[in-house]
Structure 1
Amino acid sequence: MTDAGQRRNFYGRIKGKTLRASQKGYLAEDLGPLTLRGVTREENPSRSALDMGFAKGPLWLEVGFGGGEHLVHMAARHPEVTLIGAEPFVNGVAMLLGKIRGAGVTNLWLHPGDVRDLFDVLPDACLSKVFLNYPDPWPKARHHRRRFVTPEYLLPLARVTAPGAEFRVATDIPDYVRQTLEEVPEAGFSLVAQTGAGEAWEDWIPTRYEQKALREGRQPHYLTFRRRAPEF
């Protein structure tokens, strides 16, 4: 667990465009019941392990779910699985909540904040699948340390993923692919597959970010990794 006194820098926006009245309603009515308790430092200053009673069946995580279309799609397609979505961006959370209402899925939980706080309190080897779809590319070289595919994120991720767990990364940024291929294996994952446009995973649903990338002439890359058994 992380030192309870540690404070992290969080980079990026928390809120964007003005929320619609319906989205404000979703946040007021639906966010509380779907939010995992005991994740934030305010609720859990000792960083004790999370009570996992909410998890029914395999546990999957999507890091930075954007507008939530992929997360809801996975929840509907795999009702036997429990999913967690971590996203600090309020507008994305509001969009997801609207989609959850529309789809009626009940196997999905949220952490509306920094995923590193979630990593602090998840038990070892509890995740069997993790998704990282079109993460913030932080294109300037001096900002590459802010990307998810760095040890600050990947080593905690490795701790909470089970041996054999699948880690999927989708991006349209070639340099993000480069860094992913360099950093993720070092954290304890093996590359299983690397494909391009038209060769996504069988249960993939194109996100709005992917559609925007294709409209602007950028090609998607899909990388699949498998968590190696820890070496002792």
Structure 2
Amino acid sequence: MTDALTGNSRAITTNQNGIHDDLEKVVVKHLATPFRKPIAPFSEQTFAELTATVEAFLAANPSGQLILDSCCGVGESTIHLAAQNPNALVIGIDKSEHRVEKIEHHMKHKVSNFVILRGDLNDLWRLIAQANWPISKHYLLYPNPWPKAKHLQRRWHGAPVFSYIPKLGQNITLRSNWPIYVREFAEALKLAGFEPQVSDYQSDEAMTPFERKYWASGQNSTQLTCNFV
């Protein structure tokens, strides 16, 4: 839990001692059951606008690649990724209009090869997967951990949309300050037939405001990577 006013981050408080007892049951069910929730009209419109941007980029850059930055918050990580990958289009998506509108605070990198938008990933992930765009990398940095045991199915690996994550790109990088979240995500990917790698993560430069706060508060980051091709 983060105190936005002081920047101090308290450690995750949870009633779980390890991987959730129901994780396998929930993940197997979602892998075997189509996610039939209707796509919202707002998401259809957002995806249509994003499609126009992506198609224009690929037309101008036939060998260009896409990078997806899910739960991008204020977009600091999106801009970092754009600076690190000048030949790619980086797509940052977050559900919070308030956070997306704060992008102007992180424009120290003079880059233009990115787009940041507000959207529901439960919808957009499905639409993006169906579009089969050439996404080389997918980043999921510090998603809401939903640390109460009763909220397992609010975590991405416990949600019905989880089965679409491997269809989004060639690989994924996930980070969290709650190791259990990463371990659960890894187990979910194993149930889906993949071989994720989990390790401690350190860097000289933080990519997100949350990452910066966690490290300043003495918390560590755990990282998962997984190839899907």
| TM-score in same-fold range (> 0.5) | yes
1:41 paired residue number: 44
More helix by share: 2
2:120 paired residue number: 114
1:54 paired residue number: 56
Matches within 5 A, 1:159-198: 159-161=167-169, 165-191=170-196, 193-198=197-202
Q: Is the 8 A contact 1:50 1:121 kept in 2?
A: no
* Alpha-carbon shift at residue 125 of structure 1 (Å): 5.6
Distance 1:98 1:139, change over 3 A: same
Partner-residue secondary structure (3-state), 1:189: coil
Q: Is the 8 A contact 2:82 2:90 kept in 1?
A: yes
Q: Which amino acid aligns with 1:40?
A: S
- Return the TM-score normalized by structure 1: 0.69
Counterpart CA distance in 1 for 2:42 and 2:56 is 13
2:7 paired residue number: none
1:136 aligns with 2:144: yes
Q: Is the 8 A contact 2:39 2:123 kept in 1?
A: no
Q: Is the 8 A contact 2:138 2:168 kept in 1?
A: no
1:153 aligns with 2:150: no
- Return the TM-score normalized by structure 2: 0.70
* Alpha-carbon shift at residue 113 of structure 1 (Å): 1.3
1:6 paired residue number: 38
Gaps of 5+ in 2: 1-33, 59-63
* Alpha-carbon shift at residue 197 of structure 1 (Å): 4.3
Q: Which amino acid aligns with 1:82?
A: L
Matches within 5 A, 1:45-84: 50-51=51-52, 52-56=54-58, 57-84=64-91
2:20 paired residue number: none
Q: Is the 8 A contact 1:125 1:159 kept in 2?
A: no
Higher RCO (CA 8 Å, separation ≥ 6 residues) = 2
Matches within 5 A, 1:13-28: none
Q: CA RMSD in A?
A: 3.0
* Alpha-carbon shift at residue 97 of structure 1 (Å): 4.0
1:93 paired residue number: 100
* Alpha-carbon shift at residue 55 of structure 1 (Å): 3.4
Per-residue CA shift, 1:51-106, capped at 9, x if unaligned?
54133411110110122221101111211001111101122201224434x43322
Counterpart CA distance in 2 for 1:179 and 1:128 is 24
Partner-residue secondary structure (3-state), 1:106: coil
Q: Which amino acid aligns with 1:84?
A: I
Q: Is the 8 A contact 1:133 1:171 kept in 2?
A: yes
In the alignment of these two chains, the number of paired residues is 187
Counterpart CA distance in 1 for 2:45 and 2:80 is 32
1:225 paired residue number: 226
Identity of aligned residues (%): 25
Counterpart CA distance in 1 for 2:160 and 2:219 is 28
2:215 paired residue number: 214
Distance 1:131 1:39, change over 3 A: farther
* Alpha-carbon shift at residue 179 of structure 1 (Å): 0.9
Q: Which amino acid aligns with 1:147?
A: R
